[in-house]
Amino acid sequence: MAGELTTNNKKMTAGRLQSRPQFLAVRQGEKRKGGFFLLEVLDRKEPETEARVGFTVTKKHGNAVERNRMRRRLKEAVRLHAGFAMQPGHDYVVVARRDVLKAPFRELAAELKARVETKPKHKRSGDGRPRNA
């Protein structure tokens, strides 16, 4: 039947980021780089609320048809594979790169899932000491 999930297991859905201030707030968070996209993550410090996700595709990546195709592919990858891995109380923004169009869907979904599950790296202490000394 059209519109049904192709998998039998139940997956949690993620909410949506809807306004520009929400997208801009996520830019202050952690950045996780990938080959097909950049994932920006912000912990809202509200663990009882659902995770929210937003998608960004800039105009330099093609015309409206291509940008919409990129956005649709990323949305479907989140829906099927990465939505359940998103932590409650976090906001995620996926900034697409041109390679999203030509990437096999399995690779795209696997990379998205891996980036969502990646734990944040600890920042170096700011003691002012150079690395090579």
CATH number of the domain residue 90 falls in: 3.30.230.10
Low-confidence ranges of the chain (pLDDT < 70): 1-13, 120-133
Residue 120 within any structural domain of the chain: no
What pLDDT, on a 0 to 100 scale, did the predictor assign at position 131?
Answer: 65
Q: What is the pTM of this model?
A: 0.77
Q: Which domain holds residue 109?
A: 16-115
How many structural domains comprise the chain? 1
Residue 4 within any structural domain of the chain: no
Give CA 29 to chain center in angstroms.
Answer: 12
Checking 118-124 for CB contacts under 8 A at 24+ apart, the result is: 118/32, 120/30, 120/41
* Kind plus residue range of the DSSP H or E element containing 38: strand 37-43
Which parts of the chain fold into alpha helices (H)?
Answer: 20-26, 64-77, 105-117
CA-based radius of gyration for the chain: 16
What pLDDT, on a 0 to 100 scale, did the predictor assign at position 67?
Answer: 94
Residue 108 within any structural domain of the chain: yes
What pLDDT, on a 0 to 100 scale, did the predictor assign at position 130?
Answer: 63
Q: Is 71 exposed, middle or buried (0-12, 13-18, 19+ CB in 10 A)?
A: middle
Residue 133 within any structural domain of the chain: no
Query: Over the stretch 16-49, which tens digit does the pLDDT of each residue have?
Result: 999 999 999 999 999 999 889 999 999 988 888 8
What pLDDT, on a 0 to 100 scale, did the predictor assign at position 124?
Answer: 55
What pLDDT, on a 0 to 100 scale, did the predictor assign at position 84?
Answer: 83
Beta pairing class for 52-56 and 30-33: unpaired
